[in-house]
Amino acid sequence: MRWKWRIIQIRYLYSLYRSSIWIFVYDVTKRETFENLNFWINKNRENGLDNYLSIVVGNKADLERDRTVLFEDGQNFSNDNKMMYLETSAKTPFI
């Protein structure tokens, strides 16, 4: 199942190639997804796609008790990479 997710991510990123914005989404309850952001951002840089507007989005912000990535971690990561940052939840969209 994990390899299928990787293929979906690659296809999704490939489909955004001609887009003017990049959105990198991670799960705030799974630290591994946050740590994988570097992989995708480096892929963009390797392919010369780093001069687009980029946004990092922490998803599942409604699960505060299960959180493994602090808001500050996401904010600092985004600032270090010159990206915008926000957190959201599909369950409660106006966090």
Taking the C-alpha atoms of residue 12 and residue 1, their distance in angstroms, rounded to an integer, is 17
- Sheet hosting strand 53-59, strand order edge to edge: 21-27, 53-59, 84-87
Domain for residue 94, yes or no?
no
* Domain assignment of residue 11, given as a range: 2-87
Domain for residue 95, yes or no?
no
CATH of the domain at 34: 3.40.50.300
- Residue 78 and residue 85 in contact, taking contact as beta carbons nearer than 8 Å: yes
Domain for residue 53, yes or no?
yes
Domain for residue 45, yes or no?
yes
Domain for residue 15, yes or no?
yes
pLDDT of 50 over the 70 cut: no
Q: How far is CA 68 from the centre of its chain?
A: 15
Work out how many domains the chain is built from and give that number: 1
Mean pLDDT of 3-8: 47
Q: Tell me what pLDDT residue 54 has.
A: 84
Domain for residue 78, yes or no?
yes
Q: Output DSSP code: residue 91.
A: S
pTM listed for this prediction? 0.73
Mean pLDDT of 31-38: 93
Please report which confidence band the pLDDT of residue 16 belongs to, taking 50, 70 and 90 as the band edges: low
Domain for residue 43, yes or no?
yes
Domain for residue 92, yes or no?
no
